[in-house]
Structure 1
């Protein structure tokens, strides 16, 4: 389910993945096709509609808006696939 960064970050933990993405990104589409968007352990945050999310991604990615960026607890995954995200969730 798509959410705002300010809501998603409150759920940050080892049991929750925050997926930062943007429309038209083939890497994002590949990742999202491997995840269940209804999984309560996953929040989807569109960096094009959420400036705070875009700034957060830039802070993680040396000033770049690299997507997909996935945060699980303190781990930052850049362009992972679905199985990698699910494995990070445990």
Structure 2
């Protein structure tokens, strides 16, 4: 899945060039905007500059009540982020595609699978938890 952004980018370029050859600038711009947005959503660089697993676990437990391990292109992660709304900003988000230690941690608590979102609430890992439970903990923080 980490490479899925490449064919998306290639398809976007193809559609834009094809639309320009046909003389449809509006279609080319539309394809470009939508295609690049989806490419960005699938890219492993989305969310650059976020927390690293090693830095998170170095903090005392009281300073990390909610840690969310996620990856770009994950619809369940997008659903969780949307359901948390502004409260989600209080959580620590760790991109497993940017941090191999984070990916290893997620595999260790999910039977060897990189299942995301994996949310750690007060030290307890939860795989794809109910957003209401995470929201309740964030509200208490």
Q: TM-score, structure 2 length as denominator?
A: 0.55
Q: Which has the higher strand share?
A: 1
Report the CA distance between 1:12 and its aligned residue: 5.8
Q: Which structure has more RCO (C-alpha within 8 Å, separation ≥ 6)?
A: 1
Detail structure 1 runs of 4+ shifted over 6 Å in the superposition. Answer: none
* 1:19-67 per-position Cα deviation (integer Å, ceiling 9, x unaligned): 000000000000011223432xx10000001000000101111111000
- Counterpart of 1:67 in structure 2 is 116
- Counterpart of 1:38 in structure 2 is 89
Give structure 1 stretches of 5+ with no counterpart: none
CA contact (8 A) 1:12 1:18 kept: no
What is the aligned length? 88
Q: TM-score, structure 1 length as denominator?
A: 0.82
SS of the equivalent of 1:38 reads helix
Q: Which has the higher helix share?
A: 2
Give structure 2 stretches of 5+ with no counterpart: 1-48
The CA RMSD over aligned residues, in Å, is 2.0
